[in-house]
Amino acid sequence: MAMSDELKSNALLNSQVVEQGQDCEDTEIDGLYAAAVAILQQKTFDALDREGANAALSTLEDFYSQYEIVKGFQYNALKVSFLIKLLSSANEVEQINAIDSDSMIEEIESIISVLENDENADSDAASSLISDFKDDLKQMKLKLEFVKDFNHVNEQIQELRDPKKIMMGSKVEDTEKAFSLWDEFYECNELERNDDYYQLVTQIYNSLFYALTIHQNELKKLPVTQFSHYCFDAKECAIKAVKLCEDEDKSEWLALQERIGEQVEELKKLYKAK
């Protein structure tokens, strides 16, 4: 996603002002520095738009190393902007682990502290920018905590779904535990039951029904009311998984809906023959 011009302006602040310790009496040298800063602006934001925050960070570091410039307020402000951008792009557990989000948060907090103590931080623009960084970081922490919680619950559910493993004494107990974990996650986070909710519930049923064809002794022990509930609820959840899906391609969930219907019929035959 391209960074807006307004955000670029806020992140740069006074882009033509020489960094602390970089004052030059020579107008020509000062002009060359200002021109170099302008090039930095364009290169870093082009890199951000084309290749992402990592590329922008690399461009930023290369610029300051090449010109041997003291890393002051502008450098730190740009770096925090890019780190927050990189952090905000992490949604899956693999992405979060890959970027070491905990260390990144610590780095952002450390740089914000440096910005607050910078002599340039007294200006209204700088104060506003630092405040925005803090708000962004707060939101990122909440998001990452949510993603980590989700993936922790999901990992547990996937293990409970494994038809070759019995975690809680029986596959039926495993399934009930998986349902409980998923419901609890939605309730604790005050989420409305959406396509994600019903899709995972349908997948849990899919795994249970497959397991019951292997562990038919469990199928035969199921009370009629519980068996009927599973059959009805699985089909209803499969319908909602498709209906609420916002993806253009719903083929995966349509196929699962069809498979659930087939499994229900297969299990009904096995259940009657018990």
Beta-carbon neighbour count of residue 51 at 10 Å?
A: 12
- What Å distances lie between residue 3 and 46, 49, 127, 133, 181, CA to CA? 9, 7, 21, 15, 38
Domain end position, chosen among 78, 111, 144: 144
Q: Is the pTM of this model over 0.75?
A: no
* Size of the chain, expressed as the number of residues it contains: 274
Residues 84 and 212 in one domain: no
Percentage of the chain modeled with pLDDT above 70: 77
Residues 128 and 54 in one domain: yes
* DSSP conformational letter for 119: G
pLDDT tens profile 101-118: 888 899 999 999 999 998
Domain end position, chosen among 144, 170, 185: 144
At 166, is the pLDDT very low, low, confident or very high (cuts 50, 70, 90)? confident
Task: Assess if residue 154 is contained within a domain.
Answer: no
**pLDDT value at residue 218:** 93
Residues 110 and 241 in one domain: no
Compare 189 and 93 and report the one with higher pLDDT: 189
3-state helix, strand, coil in the chain (%, to 5): 80, 0, 20
At 53, is the pLDDT very low, low, confident or very high (cuts 50, 70, 90)? low
Residues 42 and 111 in one domain: yes
- What Å distances lie between residue 229 and 142, 199, 226, 232, 259, CA to CA? 37, 18, 5, 5, 18
Residues 113 and 178 in one domain: no
Beta-carbon neighbour count of residue 31 at 10 Å?
A: 12
Task: Assess if residue 67 is contained within a domain.
Answer: yes
**Domain with 55 in it:** 5-144
Task: Assess if residue 222 is contained within a domain.
Answer: yes
Q: How many CA atoms lie within 13 Å of 239's alpha carbon, on the beta-carbon side?
A: 7
Residues 15 and 105 in one domain: yes
Residues 81 and 27 in one domain: yes
Task: Assess if residue 201 is contained within a domain.
Answer: yes
The residue among 257, 173, 262 whose CA lies nearest residue 210 is 262
Residues 135 and 60 in one domain: yes
pLDDT tens profile 200-229: 999 999 999 999 998 899 999 999 999 999
Compare 242 and 28 and report the one with higher pLDDT: 242
Mean pLDDT within 148-165: 92
Compare 26 and 64 and report the one with higher pLDDT: 64
Residues 13 and 97 in one domain: yes
Residues 20 and 121 in one domain: yes
Residues 104 and 186 in one domain: no
Task: Assess if residue 244 is contained within a domain.
Answer: yes
The residue among 243, 241, 234 whose CA lies nearest residue 263 is 234
Task: Assess if residue 60 is contained within a domain.
Answer: yes
Residues 136 and 201 in one domain: no
At 65, is the pLDDT very low, low, confident or very high (cuts 50, 70, 90)? confident
**2: its two tokens:** 């391209």
**166: its two tokens:** 């019995």
Compare 223 and 47 and report the one with higher pLDDT: 223
Mean pLDDT within 45-67: 73
Mean pLDDT within 112-128: 86
Task: Assess if residue 215 is contained within a domain.
Answer: yes
Task: Assess if residue 78 is contained within a domain.
Answer: yes
Domain count, the chain: 2
For 217, counting Cβ atoms within 10 Å of its Cβ (0-12 exposed, 13-18 middle, 19+ buried), the class is exposed
